[in-house]
Amino acid sequence: MMRFISLAFAISLALTLAGPAQAHKSSDAYLTLYVDGNTITQRLDIALQDLDRDLDLDANDDKQLSWGELRTRWPELERLVADSVKLSADGQVCTVMGKLPAQLDHHSDGAYAVLQQTLQCAAPVQSLALDYRLFAGSDAKHRGIARVLSASDEQSAVLVPAVGPKNFQLNTSLQEKLRSLGGFIVEGMHHISVGLDHILFLVSLLMVAVWRREGTGWVARSSSRSAWREAFKLVTAFTLAHSLTLGLAAAGVLAPPSRWVESLIAASVLVAAIDNMRPFVRGPRWLMVALFGLVHGFGFAGPLQALGLQRGNLALPLLGFNLGVEFAQMLLVALILPLAIALRDKPLYGRLLVRPGSALIGGLALLWLLERSLDFSLFA
């Protein structure tokens, strides 16, 4: 009876939390700058869902943005970009020479408004300063993914709104490239911090890494060393698997539909949570983790995929982003595993933490799975 009450309470709490809980895909905009002598061609892709939040574009409130609704508000979009994305070359502001008509494009997570313009600078461009403030007041998690191209160079960087200008030096030195690497490390950590589904998948695994299977249940491991060894196997399997598909997706070799990926990520969280409450997965758990890790790697790849980097320019961003993901994972292990080891043989650990916690995680994962696979929102 107590188990049923705990399960019911946890699922009710999951329903309560599901509304504000963030889906995996974070808010990103994609800025590309083509530099040719003293001319800069600028393209900015902004998600319609982000624009709708700030500009209330859905005039008839039918939860669907039409081309007519967007086109009539296009001057406001242009003003928003002009106020939020300021570019200068070698210390001087460049002049807008022309703009392309309103356009739409589709990324893996939906429709984007595409704003394009040509700027004329006073002299051939040697350095750029980009002051990026898009959605700084409405979405602290938003990031801009920038790509700067010239005849002899290609650079990429993650833009955090309202932290000051980001400088790009054409024909970059090794020092500048290493600085860009640091930005992608931070972005990898950020990607984990806003990816609640990734976090809950790892939490589910770590909660029972301090136990071992016995029949149809769990028993506490005899030593902390055994628990650390199990956690190491699980995290290593997850890391190797997601690193493989992250690299393949970022390089453009594989690009499964975002809806499938997000649905399978939700399913992985659900399976891990159910297996915590009543073990049913056959074989070593690290094998299950590796299989699901392949799916999570595609989920991690979003920002790098959008850059469209050529393979020769992919190494540093991919390395930095993956290092950031691993740092965030290690921090999670360091926070959770010592406490789980200390409590592993206490009866209340299973009754008050593992079972209700797994039920809560499973409830959230089930809601995500329904929303993502059926493409609707329960809490719109």
Residue at 245 is within a domain? yes
Residue at 351 is within a domain? yes
Contact assessment for residue 39 and residue 120, using Cβ atoms and an 8 Å cutoff: yes
Residue at 184 is within a domain? no
Residue at 185 is within a domain? no
Residues 156 and 275 in one domain: no
Residue at 187 is within a domain? no
Write the pLDDT tens digit of every residue in 93-117: 999 999 999 899 887 677 899 999 9
Residue at 152 is within a domain? yes
Higher pLDDT, 336 or 19: 336
Q: What's the whole-number mean pLDDT along residues 14-21?
A: 44
Share of the chain residues as helix, strand and coil, in percent rounded to the nearest 5 = 55, 20, 25
Contact assessment for residue 96 and residue 117, using Cβ atoms and an 8 Å cutoff: yes
Residue at 244 is within a domain? yes
**Rounded to an integer, what distance in angstroms lies between the CA atom of residue 145 and that of residue 149?**
13
Residues 319 and 218 in one domain: yes
Range of the domain at 344: 2-23+195-374
Per-residue pLDDT for 307 more than 90?
Answer: no
- What residues form DSSP beta bridges with 40? 35, 119
Residues 14 and 45 in one domain: no
pLDDT class of 304 with cuts at 50, 70, 90: low
Residues 107 and 234 in one domain: no
Residues 18 and 33 in one domain: no
Higher pLDDT, 273 or 253: 273
Average of per-residue pLDDT values in the chain:
84
Residues 155 and 228 in one domain: no
Q: What's the whole-number mean pLDDT along residues 177-195?
A: 75
Residues 204 and 327 in one domain: yes
pTM: 0.65
Nearest 10 degrees: Cα torsion 13, 14, 20, 24: 160
pLDDT class of 81 with cuts at 50, 70, 90: very high
Residue at 178 is within a domain? no
